[in-house]
Amino acid sequence: MSTSLDLAVRGTTAHTGPGRADRLRSGSRAAALWVTAAAVILVTAIGGFFLSILDEETSALHPESVQPSGTKALMDILRERGVEVTVTESRQEARTAAAAADTTVLYIDLDADGETETRKEIGEAVRSGGNSLVLADPGYDVEDFTPALRTASYFESDGQHELLQPGCQAPAAAAAGQVRGADGVYAAAPSYEDAVTTCYTFPGVPPGAGAYARAEADGADVTVLGSQTWMTNASLDEEGHAALMLHTLGQHKNLVVYLPQAGDQPSAGEEEPPNALTFVPPWFGVALLWLIPLTAALLWWRIRRFGPLAVERLPVVVPPVETVHGRAALMQRAGARTESLHALRTASLLRIAARLARPSQERPEQLCAAIAAHTGRDLAEVRYAYLEGAPAHDRQLSDIAVLITAIESEVSPT
């Protein structure tokens, strides 16, 4: 049939399914779409919530942290009382603020990111502005800030958990009364005994040392707190902690909380020997990341099939000799050696009888004699193979079968 004739008779066909617009319309009515959309929104919301939690400030003593170890409660109280609280991570800012008038500087450095240089600068700036400096358990670093104080003893972890009595004339301590626990005790440096007031001493510490030390020298004052827990959200409402902290930090109109950062220190920028990564240009990382959308596009391009797989309807085919294998396995399991050999012998004798042109009704004994005569084999051997051999085990059976095959192969048609 010619193609043009075929076209004239049968016409043509085209895709008759719903178009793109129809599919969009019917798709928008499908429940699955809305269920999926709801699921996506829900997952996004949950994910966003967790992300926002992760984003939150959780480091200890941080003025923005609402964790039990944070200090947001204290800062909020101070703000309510009219204190201007500023949080800074910049060394430059902290130094400027420390030198400004009417300012308290709270130095919090739990990760020991601040360097000696920084501490000295802050101490100097506070002295030059005649301001107050508050240190939260600085340990041996206290000597960098002021020459008037030194650490007297330092408990690593399990400090003092007892209630401590003020036992001094410092107004803050006197107003606060007893506090709980201390991690370090501080004392006046030699020749500064007059300028220093120590409070909250307890048995076992060197004489003149206390968990709260205040040095007033050079027009500025430095207060050392022997415990960081006094100002945390968790324990601010216990004992006299709140009063002590408010007195200490609320002396001036401004409070600057300085959290030193490792990258903002004098030695930062001059460290690190150059490694291989330093020589990689900055755009290389971007190009590497761009491989993700590129791979996605590549997959999308290659993954789409050019139409569905062609279907083949095959006719049924049954494996043929399965029954033979099955029967053979049954015979072997039952040890049917006699029956097996009988089949082999009968078949072989029938073939030989045909080849030697003997009548098929002939007795096997006579046929054996004919075979022996024809092949020149010993008659006893032929009779053993075809009549008398009774295999006691499979090996013997196999031997007799091989013998039968050998004898049969020696018989050539006359």
Residue 172 vs residues 104, 176, 213, 244, 374: alpha-carbon distances, Å:
15, 6, 11, 5, 133
CB of 194 to another protein, least distance (A): 59
CB of 106 to another protein, least distance (A): 35
Both tokens of 110, joined, read 């739990």
CB of 370 to another protein, least distance (A): 21
b/e string for 280-311 if b means 16 or more Cβ within 10 A?
eeeeeeeeeeeeeeeeeeeeeeeeeeeeeeee
- Gap between the Cα atoms of 37 and 31, Å rounded: 10
By beta-carbon proximity to another protein, the closer residue of 330 and 380 is 330
By beta-carbon proximity to another protein, the closer residue of 28 and 169 is 28
By beta-carbon proximity to another protein, the closer residue of 311 and 357 is 311
How is 203-230 classified by DSSP, letter by letter?
A: TTS-TT-BSEEEEEETTEEEEEES-SGG
CB of 174 to another protein, least distance (A): 56
Q: What residues form DSSP beta bridges with 86?
A: 256
How is 260-317 classified by DSSP, letter by letter?
A: --GGGSTTTTS-S---GGGGS-HHHHHHHHHHHHHHHHHHHHHHS-SSSPPP--PPP-
By beta-carbon proximity to another protein, the closer residue of 197 and 340 is 340
Residue 241 vs residues 30, 166, 229, 295: alpha-carbon distances, Å:
63, 12, 9, 59
By beta-carbon proximity to another protein, the closer residue of 26 and 116 is 26
Using alpha carbons, select from 226, 61, 80, 231 the residue that is nearest to residue 160. 226
| 103: helix, strand or coil | strand
Confirm if 310 and 328 have CB atoms less than 8 A apart.
Answer: no
By beta-carbon proximity to another protein, the closer residue of 144 and 408 is 408
CB of 4 to another protein, least distance (A): 9
CB of 392 to another protein, least distance (A): 13
Total residue length of the chain: 414
Using alpha carbons, select from 104, 238, 74 the residue that is nearest to residue 66. 74
CB of 143 to another protein, least distance (A): 45
- Gap between the Cα atoms of 143 and 156, Å rounded: 19
CB of 286 to another protein, least distance (A): 4
The residue behind tokens 């707190």 is 225
Residues near another protein (CB under 8 A) = 1-3, 6-7, 10-17, 19-20, 282-283, 285-287, 289-290, 293-294, 297-298, 300-301, 304, 306-308, 310-321, 323-325, 327-329, 331-332, 339-341, 343-344, 346-347, 350, 394-395, 397-398, 401-402, 404-405
Confirm if 100 and 129 have CB atoms less than 8 A apart.
Answer: yes
Using alpha carbons, select from 101, 65, 109, 104 the residue that is nearest to residue 81. 104
By beta-carbon proximity to another protein, the closer residue of 24 and 38 is 24
By beta-carbon proximity to another protein, the closer residue of 297 and 380 is 297
Residue 104 parent element (H or E): strand 103-107
CB of 313 to another protein, least distance (A): 8
By beta-carbon proximity to another protein, the closer residue of 19 and 171 is 19
Confirm if 385 and 367 have CB atoms less than 8 A apart.
Answer: no
By beta-carbon proximity to another protein, the closer residue of 53 and 317 is 317
CB of 274 to another protein, least distance (A): 21
- Gap between the Cα atoms of 151 and 141, Å rounded: 8
